[in-house]
């Protein structure tokens, strides 16, 4: 459960321009630092440490950092293309949010601006002999930072955009989202009653946009419900696709409220962030769908890489295991959000998002079929009460597809025999 302003701030900090701008400002400020603190340097020190060499050092940094930044940007664009074509376009967002890449580029740009401002300031003579000493010391520190960043960047380039590295990022994002939802099954609100029949007096909050729900500020909804003496029943979750005029929420008055209905609906709408694409942070189903999409692409005739699909199946089991942990069953509701009702995720939806596409696209390969059955057996053993029925349903669908796609009776019998051990046939 994250407030909208924190979510927006988190999205901004993941953008490349944010870190680059921050490091650029820091670089300029650092270069000008010597102007204000030069009086603290003894007059006899410049001659002893050779601060006159700072001109040449700054010139080398300015020319080299511009070339390194250009090279790094081209490498980054190539990595984005590799992730898009080799894995899935949906994973490119995670590659673009890579902090190591952003820190490296920001350091190079900041160092370039630091040296450029330093050269300009030296040419005007504002530093003086004492200011050159401080600038020289800071320049040495910047050189050390550049060397460290370059070494780390070289190591990182060997992994950036690779299939395995990108899949790792998707799995990590999916596990983070599903773990967060496990702690807050209803995003801090209350569970939407399954058998609830809303009164005819309930007012509907309709969408004024078309797109995907990216974030819901449940805390703000709780404040609105408390101030206006109402109950809010949300009909959507992060990841839901909404269209113009679609019902997003229904409002039921619980007391005498004098709030203007139009203004109330406007405030409720403002708590929902709707964008053109789904995001990983608060949408566990999206992470599972992207993992499944990676496996389906690997199973296509153009790629023909069942090994990657089998690897992804194992990652899907790890991700779903997080949903089967005991803490997931403990409902956490914020005291201020008890009048906000949301629907929770269902196991059937999670399994459909992950297993259905892989089962459809890989059913003609026995090794993939066997891995799918073993994965379903594992999940059923991890949490029988939560997963068993969904595992049996998908196992039966898989066997039905395999009986049509597999050509050898021996392969069919092998798959059926494995499923029968856990009563999956």
Lowest mean pLDDT among 1-10, 342-351, 374-383: 1-10
Average of per-residue pLDDT across 388-398: 92
User: Burial, 200: exposed, middle or buried (Cβ in 10 Å; 0-12, 13-18, 19+)?
Assistant: exposed
Average of per-residue pLDDT across 401-421: 88
133 within a domain of the structure (yes/no): yes
Sign (positive/negative) of CA torsion 394, 396, 401, 406?
A: positive
Confidence of residue 144 (pLDDT cuts 50, 70, 90): very high
CB contact at 8 A, 129 and 54:
no
Nearest to 251 by CA among 228, 274, 218, 217: 228
Residue 343 has pLDDT above 50, yes or no: yes
Q: What is the pLDDT of residues 357-382, one digit of tens each?
A: 999 999 889 999 999 999 999 999 99
Residue 128 has pLDDT above 80, yes or no: no
180 within a domain of the structure (yes/no): no
How far is 52 from 37, CA to CA, in rounded Å?
Answer: 18
Question: In sequence order, what are the residues at sequence separation of 6 or more whose Cβ sits closer than 8 angstroms to the Cβ of residue 260?
Answer: none
CB neighbourhood size of 399 (10 A):
22
Helix axes 54-86, 128-157, angle to 10 degrees: 20
Task: Indicate whether 256 and 302 sit together in one domain.
Answer: no
Q: What's the start-to-end Cα distance of the chain, in Å?
A: 41
Q: What is the pLDDT of residue 416?
A: 87
Residue-by-residue DSSP string for 54-92: HHHHHHHHHHHHHHHHHHHHHHHHHHHHHHHHHT-GGGH
Q: What is the pLDDT of residue 206?
A: 92
Sign (positive/negative) of CA torsion 360, 365, 370, 371?
A: negative
Residue that is last in its domain, among 239, 255, 275: 275
Task: Indicate whether 242 and 207 sit together in one domain.
Answer: yes
Task: Indicate whether 316 and 395 sit together in one domain.
Answer: yes
Question: In sequence order, what are the residues at sequence separation of 6 or more whose Cβ sits closer than 8 angstroms to the Cβ of residue 165?
Answer: 159
338 within a domain of the structure (yes/no): no
27 within a domain of the structure (yes/no): yes
Residue 424 has pLDDT above 80, yes or no: no
Task: Indicate whether 31 and 141 sit together in one domain.
Answer: yes
289 within a domain of the structure (yes/no): yes
Q: Which residues pair with 230 in a beta bridge?
A: 253
Collapsing DSSP to helix, strand or coil, 206 comes out as strand
- Tokens 């229904």 belong to which residue? 250
Write out the residue range of the structural domain in which residue 157 sits. Answer: 4-161
Task: Indicate whether 393 and 302 sit together in one domain.
Answer: yes
Residue-by-residue DSSP string for 193-205: PTT----TTPEEE
Task: Indicate whether 153 and 267 sit together in one domain.
Answer: no
Task: Indicate whether 235 and 312 sit together in one domain.
Answer: no
How far is 289 from 151, CA to CA, in rounded Å?
Answer: 36
| DSSP β-ladder status, 272-275 and 247-253 | unpaired
Q: What is the pLDDT of residue 269?
A: 92
> Residue 275: what are its φ and ψ, rounded to 5°?
-130, 180
Confidence of residue 321 (pLDDT cuts 50, 70, 90): very high
Domains of the chain: total: 3
For the entire predicted model, the pTM comes to 0.84
Task: Indicate whether 126 and 21 sit together in one domain.
Answer: yes
CB contact at 8 A, 309 and 298:
yes
Average of per-residue pLDDT across 126-151: 81
| DSSP β-ladder status, 272-275 and 241-242 | unpaired
Nearest to 339 by CA among 218, 231, 235, 202: 231
Residue that is last in its domain, among 275, 301, 318: 275
CB contact at 8 A, 170 and 316:
no
Helix axes 16-37, 4-13, angle to 10 degrees: 80
Task: Indicate whether 131 and 223 sit together in one domain.
Answer: no
Show the tokens assigned to 402.
């395999």
Task: Indicate whether 154 and 193 sit together in one domain.
Answer: no
Lowest mean pLDDT among 30-34, 135-139, 233-237, 414-418: 30-34
Task: Indicate whether 121 and 201 sit together in one domain.
Answer: no
239 within a domain of the structure (yes/no): yes
Q: What is the pLDDT of residue 329?
A: 46
Residue 256 has pLDDT above 60, yes or no: yes
179 within a domain of the structure (yes/no): no
Task: Indicate whether 192 and 325 sit together in one domain.
Answer: no
Nearest to 11 by CA among 91, 133, 96: 96
Mean pLDDT computed over every residue of the chain: 85
CATH number of domain containing 190: 3.90.1170.30
175 within a domain of the structure (yes/no): no
Please give the helix or strand (H or E) that residue 357 lies within, else none.
helix 347-362
């Amino acid at each position: 459960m994250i407030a909208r302003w924190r979510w927006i701030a988190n999205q901004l900090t993941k953008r490349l321009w944010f870190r680059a701008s921050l490091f650029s400002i820091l670089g300029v400020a650092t270069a000008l630092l010597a102007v204000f603190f030069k009086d603290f340097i003894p007059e006899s020190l410049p001659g002893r440490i050779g601060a006159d060499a700072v001109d040449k050092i700054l010139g080398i940094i300015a020319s080299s950092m511009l070339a390194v930044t250009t090279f790094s940007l081209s490498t980054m664009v190539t990595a984005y293309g590799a992730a898009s074509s080799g894995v899935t376009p949906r994973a490119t967002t995670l590659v673009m949010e890579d902090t190591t890449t952003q820190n490296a580029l920001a350091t190079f740009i900041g160092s370039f601006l630091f040296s450029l401002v330093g050269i300009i300031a030296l040419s005007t003579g504002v530093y003086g002999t004492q200011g050159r000493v401080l600038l020289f010391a800071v320049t040495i520190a910047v050189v050390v930072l550049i060397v460290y960043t370059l070494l780390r960047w070289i190591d990182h380039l060997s992994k950036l955009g690779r299939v395995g590295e990108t899949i790792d990022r998707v799995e990590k994002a999916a596990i983070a989202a599903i773990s967060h939802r496990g702690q807050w099954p209803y995003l801090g609100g209350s569970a939407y009653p399954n058998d609830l029949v809303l009164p005819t007096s309930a007012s509907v909050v309709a969408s004024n946009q078309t797109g995907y729900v990216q974030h819901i500020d449940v805390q703000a909804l709780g404040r609105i419900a408390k101030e206006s003496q109402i109950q809010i029943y949300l009909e959507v979750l992060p990841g839901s696709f909404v269209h113009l005029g679609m019902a997003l929420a229904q409002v039921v008055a619980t007391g005498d409220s004098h709030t203007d209905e139009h203004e109330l609906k406007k405030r409720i709408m403002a708590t929902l962030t709707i964008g053109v694409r789904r995001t990983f942070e608060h949408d566990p189903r999206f992470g599972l769908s992207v993992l499944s999409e990676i496996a389906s692409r690997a199973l296509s005739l153009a790629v023909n890489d069942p090994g990657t699909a089998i690897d992804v199946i194992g990652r899907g089991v790890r991700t779903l295991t997080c949903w089967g942990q005991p803490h997931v069953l403990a409902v956490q509701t914020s005291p201020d959000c008890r009048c906000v009702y949301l629907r929770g995720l269902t196991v059937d939806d999670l399994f459909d998002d992950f297993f259905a596409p892989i089962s459809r696209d890989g059913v003609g390969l026995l090794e993939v079929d066997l891995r799918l059955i073993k994965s379903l057996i594992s999940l059923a053993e991890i949490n029988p009460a939560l997963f068993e029925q969904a595992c049996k349903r998908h196992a039966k669908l898989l066997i039905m597809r395999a009986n049509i796609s597999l050509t050898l009776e021996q392969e069919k019998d092998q798959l059926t025999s494995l499923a029968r051990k856990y009563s999956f046939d």
